[in-house]
Structure 1
């Protein structure tokens, strides 16, 4: 009878009782990893079995079990009611012949039994000077001892021993020893005492400062701008953490596809380490398409053109043209939104950006029809890691038609805002899984029409995100509870003293889903035309669940109200609820949500559909 070639087999690894060790053993076994993906002949299977002894022993050693044993038995997997034959030891010299004699169609069963044995602990941990450093012993100060983090009596886990040397080297470099080296440790096994002695060879080297900083690879970017932007300078203590922070800061400008920094030895005579920042500039021009749809606002589609690093100082110019109002229950016809944005970083001082926008808008909403030209300029300044503030000026000339009346308005305002964000996301389209976002705004305004009206719009928005993994009921980032609250008030003028577009509205994806845009709040009698108000509040609760690799789902409930007084939390409360699906792409999730009103007004819609890129909040 001819043996099978290739020979099918299955592998069973018996647990040791230590979960992390079992995972390492399973990952180390080539028998387990290759049994379904790599066909093998009987002779090669014998070699694979013998190789696993060393691989599994290394896994056991790495967890401190230096006296462990590995037993591998090879037998025939019983079929039906058949009784399995005697097992063959994996080290037997007769194993290849035994495997070649296995009948075709018969599966070989490989059983691996690892036994941990005694856990070894660290014995002596010593540091020896590198050759040429002299006989003086290596003496560590308190931060260096903490970085090494090893002491006699600890479990002799290989990864801990290796990581300790790397940590010590990093600490020495952080103290300015740019040339510090901690070699791969040498270990001596002491079976009698079940300990492991470890020795590191340490070269501390001199304390070094930063020398000349060169910039290479700049083509369209002005070197003087980068030099001003650098957060490190010559004669500063050499510290890798601050050098890396400087590299990341330059990369955050968004005009480079890659930024690298490297030491440029040898040291100068005064013990300075030259550095070179190497830049790869990204594409300067980008064309992007935009599209979105909701049943209330209809479709919107357009194109944007972006010119990065326009004048060589990381300026960005973006031109955008959108067609709006493609259908929609809150729209009366097609409109447009055309604008030009110019952003200049480090305007006046570091971490302070200038933003300028010129915008033309036409929107034919059921509440009003608006044609407007806006010009705004402002400063955005970062305060610390999570906060930024912005202030500026805006002028708007507009014509608004409402309920058969046409009025022209000239509005000047001084928008002020403060924003907090500790979600840790550089891309606002990415879904947040933790942290919070808060936006506080105050916009003093003056409307110059038939009579001058002074008013101030106050608005606050907050959202927070809780990962259910903290409760132990989900994997990190897979199940998230998101909560949003919005509150606004107009001070200094009544509803009809301010232009319709400056009033407060609710309804739609930004406040209460299930109600059309501007569909929550006071309305003109016997119409679905919203009046707007001078106070508004809304809240949302949403559960987001990742499904498989690229899909997700959401359930949500929203509530909100609009009032004509200046105090929020008055008016008729409207509630909507719904759910949706997500498809996660490299640039963010594609969102499709359906919502229904739970207490629909007389002229309200029965449901709303929202399609867009990114989460609602």
Structure 2
């Protein structure tokens, strides 16, 4: 019998890096060029040609039985493989590199459950094994290849039979007895007799056991003793784990450190956990996510205390880092269906020391006569030019409460295929945060404008009392893999408040995300949107306030806001809306993914969808490049059942998923 001392298999892990260009605060970092698609060529570890300054080598890995999984295990563990593109300076260094690889490769095969494995590394025909590396002979043989040819290096592995687990015992360190299933369910341990004796599976079981007890309010849970025993004659392993759950604890005092320029009361208003609440890592993750909503902060770290306080609670230390207070940005975009657009903005994230945000944003866009398809013979027309200027102010945590004050102003000239509008809008409201996922908002809105379409011109005034709610349990803003989002609003514009068009506008959008695997490489995402206007006839409602579908955030493949009832061939909008989308987000590699999708929707003349209008369907395929900031999105969509004048295809580019 052999007591296995080195159970964990250390592997080299390569994380892909994406470099972006951000205009965020001063000073600006220099731009860095990066080959985003070198993975396509497969030349990451190709050796350089022979030279007098180095000794490059070719590498071949042979595994008995042609086991491709084990070959990959050896590649991941081998420095001969990972450093092949960085050849050693001489033959002695090459022999040293091969000799150092021998214990690594043996450990890697042990970690996969092959405890009778043998590895030989042939350097220029000289075999090197762990018990007799023959370093000097390998050095002499390899020296003859200097400046002449690549040194042939071959890793030959005979793994033997894979060992199996014979006995698995998980014991309570306090009593020395196994945990009852109610305290430690078998689904947590997972490993059982008869499973392959892989160290990675045992280490993963240890992590699951500790995580389980931590989730049950035991912050100091740990593996006290690990005793794996390999029995070579039986080709088996016995494993005994001694687990100390530690004391049960609640959450103690929460101290805030860092972010000296931000009022701590603002940060505390985004903490929904109270002292004495049960401790759990999920609660800490929720706290971190909630505090991260403060735009003035760049990072949030929650450090746990090393001991419980006198009340049996665990103190927490929230450590914050501020962002640069000022940020500027700009973007240029072009859609084959919607035309070009330019946007720029400036923002201050901590205007008065209470994480107040002031944002000024302007954009200019141009709609060509046929909805985005350029025509060189077409002259520039000011009538097709649109633009908007928006100012928004947010005061979070009024008087230290969970109430936020929002003020917005907008001046806009919009131009779509169906209408032209000009307006000025101002609104203010109070948002109450019940938790990091749920909030409601109410306020008052004033808008004065003019809208012109084929039905005529409407000069209007709207004074309303909008109310909305928001629920977001997703794990990522730009690339959600689980959870759901719901946004719903209703805004009455009664005549007694001064509205020239008495009506009530309601709208809601819900999306859900479901991962088909633990690594979130296969995601199903769905979205549905509904809208309704009651209280006024269609021709009384300003054209820009009616519902339309179509475009990158709606039904891809069709022009922006072009799907609705028509009059003389022009879209005139509707009083109700129905939209739906379904996507399968599939990762091909860690950085590259494809997204087949289908969208459907349109607007209707009636206040509720009556399906008198045909439901337009768009389908397509997207490409995603995943970065640390978010996925870069390229979607190509075609109309499935196009109407007269609809484009044959549309291309969309952006950052973040479509919904």
What range is the shorter-chain TM-score in? 0.7 to 0.9
- Secondary structure at 1:23 match in 2: helix
| Residue 613 of structure 2, aligned match among 545, 559, 571 | 571
Q: Contact conserved, 1:293 with 1:612, CA < 8 A, in 2?
A: no
Shifted more, 354-363 versus 101-110: the winner is: 101-110
- Cα deviation, 1:472-511, whole Å, max 9, x if unaligned, reads xxx9658x78766555443333222323332233444444
- Show the 5 A alignment for 1:488-503: 488-503=531-546
Q: Contact conserved, 1:436 with 1:463, CA < 8 A, in 2?
A: yes
CA change 1:393–1:328 in 2 (3 A) is farther
In structure 1, the gaps of 5 or more residues are 77-86, 130-135
Q: Contact conserved, 1:189 with 1:196, CA < 8 A, in 2?
A: yes
Query: What's 1:374 paired with?
Result: 425
Q: Compute the displacement of 1:452 (Å).
A: 5.7
Query: What's 2:22 paired with?
Result: none
* Structure 2: distance between partners of 1:208 and 1:559: 51
Alignment pair present for 1:61 and 2:116: no
| Cα-Cα RMSD | 4.8
- Secondary structure at 2:502 match in 1: strand
- Secondary structure at 2:290 match in 1: helix
Q: Contact conserved, 1:88 with 1:95, CA < 8 A, in 2?
A: no
Query: What's 1:255 paired with?
Result: 296
Q: Compute the displacement of 1:152 (Å).
A: 6.7
- Secondary structure at 2:75 match in 1: helix
CA change 1:223–1:54 in 2 (3 A) is same
* Structure 2: distance between partners of 1:139 and 1:118: 30
Q: Contact conserved, 2:356 with 2:393, CA < 8 A, in 1?
A: yes
| Residue 152 of structure 2, aligned match among 108, 119, 129 | 108
Q: Contact conserved, 1:69 with 1:117, CA < 8 A, in 2?
A: no
Q: Contact conserved, 1:409 with 1:448, CA < 8 A, in 2?
A: no
CA change 1:580–1:193 in 2 (3 A) is closer
Paired residues, number: 587
- Secondary structure at 2:265 match in 1: helix
* Structure 2: distance between partners of 1:68 and 1:16: 13
Q: Contact conserved, 1:554 with 1:581, CA < 8 A, in 2?
A: yes
Q: Compute the displacement of 1:213 (Å).
A: 3.6
Q: Contact conserved, 1:423 with 1:436, CA < 8 A, in 2?
A: yes
TM, length-normalised to structure 1 = 0.75
In structure 2, the gaps of 5 or more residues are 1-51, 372-381
Q: Contact conserved, 1:210 with 1:237, CA < 8 A, in 2?
A: yes
- Show the 5 A alignment for 1:502-581: 502-512=545-555, 515-523=558-566, 525=568, 530-537=571-578, 561-568=602-609, 569-571=611-613
- Show the 5 A alignment for 1:384-533: 390-401=441-452, 407-417=458-468, 424-427=475-478, 430=479, 439-446=487-494, 453-461=501-509, 477=521, 486-512=529-555, 515-523=558-566, 525=568, 530-533=571-574
Q: Compute the displacement of 1:112 (Å).
A: 0.7
Q: Compute the displacement of 1:519 (Å).
A: 3.9
| Residue 363 of structure 1, aligned match among 402, 414, 417 | 414
Q: Contact conserved, 1:64 with 1:121, CA < 8 A, in 2?
A: no
Query: What's 1:80 paired with?
Result: none
Query: What's 1:29 paired with?
Result: 78
Alignment pair present for 1:343 and 2:394: yes
Q: Contact conserved, 2:114 with 2:159, CA < 8 A, in 1?
A: no
- Secondary structure at 2:295 match in 1: coil
Q: Compute the displacement of 1:280 (Å).
A: 1.7
Alignment pair present for 1:11 and 2:52: no
* Structure 1: distance between partners of 2:426 and 2:221: 56
CA change 1:186–1:584 in 2 (3 A) is closer
* Structure 1: distance between partners of 2:474 and 2:122: 52
Q: Contact conserved, 2:290 with 2:436, CA < 8 A, in 1?
A: no
CA change 1:370–1:14 in 2 (3 A) is same
TM, length-normalised to structure 2 = 0.71
- Cα deviation, 1:48-83, whole Å, max 9, x if unaligned, reads 44444422322232233333333555675xxxxxxx
* Structure 2: distance between partners of 1:218 and 1:321: 30
